[in-house]
Structure 1
Amino acid sequence: MSSVETYPEGLAITVEGVSKRFGRTLALDDVSLAVPHGTVFALLGPNGAGKSTLIDILCTIGRPDSGRALIAGIDVVKQPLAARRQLGVVFQETTLDTRLTVRENLSFHGMVYQMGRRERLTRTDEMLELVDLTDWADSEVKTLSSGMRRRLEIARALMHRPQILFLDEPTVGLDAQARARIWDYIAALRAQQDLTVIVTTHYIEEVDACDDICIIDRGKILAKGSPDALKSQHGSTLLKVTPRSDEARAAILARYPDAVAGAESQLLIQMTATDSADAILAEFGNQLRQISIDQPSLESVFLSLTGRDLREAPPVSRKARRNG
């Protein structure tokens, strides 16, 4: 497959009414989405939202209880082997063989996909150059840093020239610099190869450059669209305050009962036409350690749709509000 015409209606992925339950937990609830060929598509949601369950189904690892999923027009349940040949996958947990060298990991993957020896050698060199691992080609994987291992996993996923690349939380556990480099490599892949990229993440700041975003929470899709469209439809100005004490926190919650717990002891307050930062500063200024104002962002989109912060999934309970 080398052109969009080979995809039904130009879609790399089609999901129709997919549901999946694990015991009493409904992991996916009637999920439907369409991913155009050649785009970078992000599934954004907190841990446990259903992102990885959906990826497992699309990668033929899991089966839906109902509904269907198509990869380049191929039903993942009826034709799993044909679907897998279109896919490259980087799982959240590393699956590299740390006893093998970098080159051996890539070569073994090529053999699994029945690539000939000459093709494996050529493709291995191409992939090592792409992810800046040529100098470590003969190093054992166990000697690599976590960021280098993740880059190797991306290279391995692309060895057999798939049309669709799945990245399930590709930067989890990496420091900020390593995370930025991974996204640089993803951008380079788009420029060099005819790829559709599907990314799951709970890092809001990582998806602003994606073509489309699907916000998912508790197994349900809450909104879909481009970053700008989502901000326009659901975003709001967000005031972030860090109280100096538990007493100050209780006072702010009493004044703004819809405030949501954020990361690092922050409270997130969605600003309305009647609110102003000046008024909050006048009332609580000496009780605040820090205050900032964010213009409509994907963080405020998620807050508007779910009533909670993506990085701090549990909402502030009423008991917590009363007790400060």
Structure 2
Amino acid sequence: MDAETKRPIIVVTGFLGSGKTTLLRHVLSAPSAQGTAVLVNEFGEVGLDHHLVRQLDEQTILLNNGCVCCSVRDDLVQALSSLLDQDQRGAISRIDRVVVETTGLADPAPILFTIGTDPMLRHHFRAGRVVVTVDAMNGQRHLDRHAVSLKQVAVADDIVVTKTDLAPPETVSALVARLRTLNPAAQLTTAVLGEVAPELILAPRHRHLSAGQRIAEATAPTDGQHVDGTRSVSLTFEQPLDWAAFSVWLSMLLYAHGEDVLRVKGLLNVGEAGPVVLNGVQHIIHAPEHLPEWPDTDRRSHLIFILQGIEPQQIVQSLQAFQHLLGAQPSLSDAVW
């Protein structure tokens, strides 16, 4: 089963009280949400009025190496297996996509790891978007005090700043600026009472070239101000990359520093008609997507790393040491941290 026919699993996460359920209720009320199954860790005070809601009882199984980001969500495997069985037997409406709403204190990485490594899930499902809600009133405090809030923002494909009607404009602006610094590659939007375009959650990731365009745009130089022990480095390669050599280099990097590489995104020129879109969270690299054409006339390769506990200069030095195999070296003038 190819990537286009696999059902996407969209992860909706965000710190306690940041508006995940309100956002999800709004999206699920749209006609385009038909065929969406929802898995939730907790129903919360406001239940979801949806016929395909299932509750997850979080049970993680730690792998032998003890790596918390490589915990298998056994409950997720069981829930998705059950939904798939019912779908194939015609016992429920056809499932086109699955939304997983996490608890406010959840790290999304184990969910993504489970989707990417379980043999059954890999055959029928693929990782979709990671959507993170951030409370405009309390987001700064959550980022200051809670490492999981930082992690949620770092791994996001889409960040939704909620409750913007309750916060002063200057508070919202400061939070948005901080979020753009923490995750320059994420698409960022605001919402009042969860009202966002349903496509924000339901549309396939990377199907449109604008997704790749955002990766390239995010590598534009910034003022380099980073906070919270989290750093980002944006690199540009003028020449096409050797895809096999780059894959080896990235595998070695993640093997050695997987827990420190919170996020990696790339739009890579590997000498084909279109670029390769690279997307990964810690040890988990989603299947690279080969786009049929470039989003614009820029044919350079762009890479973004969001790091914690590792200095960006180490990434640059490692790439420089590998450049004779990669066929290109990073443009240090575009390296930002």
Q: What TM-score do the two structures reach when normalised by structure 2?
A: 0.30
Which has the higher Rg, Structure 1 or Structure 2? 1
Q: What TM-score do the two structures reach when normalised by structure 1?
A: 0.31
